[in-house]
Amino acid sequence: MIFATVMFWAVALALVASSLAVVLTPNLFHAVLYLAAALVATAVVFLLLDAAFLFAVQLLLYAGGIVTVMVFAIMLTERLTGQRLTQTNRHVVNGAVMSFAVFVGVAGFIMRSNATAAAPASADRTLDIARAIVGPFAVTFELLGVLLVAALLGAVYFARTED
């Protein structure tokens, strides 16, 4: 129990720190690298919640796939303009006040909801996920395939060259 608690706080600290770095660092390339760190920390949170399969999916798709695509996009756009993509934030005070208000609202709601349910005994749910995907969620799963094909075609259409 002690180990799980220490792990949770360590991962939570890493996740919040890297998330703050994503939105605050001026260099866009560094922001993507910090996003990769935040995504890996999220994967470890999944592991703490006994979702080993989602841990693997998160690492493969998010930290592996999305970060690679982001890096490619930044390098392409940098080459197009020939200048480094540094960026500044605007309306920092307004954004901070707005975000803090949303956090206070959500956190207050969570605190008042007294969700003190004890965790049931942990079990590996990977087999159950597989059965659910081809069972009750089969139609959603097929629609997801259609969505991915449509998104792929759309991305190719947008990014094509004119001739």
Partner 1 sequence: MAAPGLSAYLILAALVFTIGLFGVLTRRNAIGILLGIELMLNAVNINLVAFARFEADLAGLVFTLFVIAITVAEVGVGLAIVIAIFRVRRTVDADHLNLLRG
Contacts (CB under 8 A) with partner 1, residues 91-120: 91-92, 94-96, 98-100, 102-103, 106-107, 110-111, 113, 115-120
- Residue 156's Cα: distance from chain center in Å? 24
Query: What single DSSP character describes residue 118?
Result: P
Contact 122, 50 (CB under 8 A): yes
Number of chain positions touching partner 1 (CB under 8 A):
87
Tokens representing 18 are 């890297």
Q: Give 27's strand partners.
A: 86
Q: According to the binding rule CB under 8 A, does residue 56 interact with partner 1?
A: no
Regarding 76 and contact with partner 1 (CB under 8 A), the answer is yes
Cβ atoms within 10 Å, residue 41? 20
Pick one of 84, 124, 132, 138: the residue that binds partner 1 (CB under 8 A).
132
In whole angstroms, the minimum distance from the beta carbon of 121 to partner 1 comes to 9
Residues 35-54 binding partner 1 (CB under 8 A) are 35, 38-39, 42, 45-46, 49-51, 53-54
Whole-number Cα distances in Å, 67 to 22, 31, 41, 105 = 13, 10, 14, 31
Encoded one letter per residue, x for contact with partner 1 by CB under 8 A and - for no contact, window 3-42 reads: -xx--xx--x--xx--xx-xx----x--xx--x--xx--x
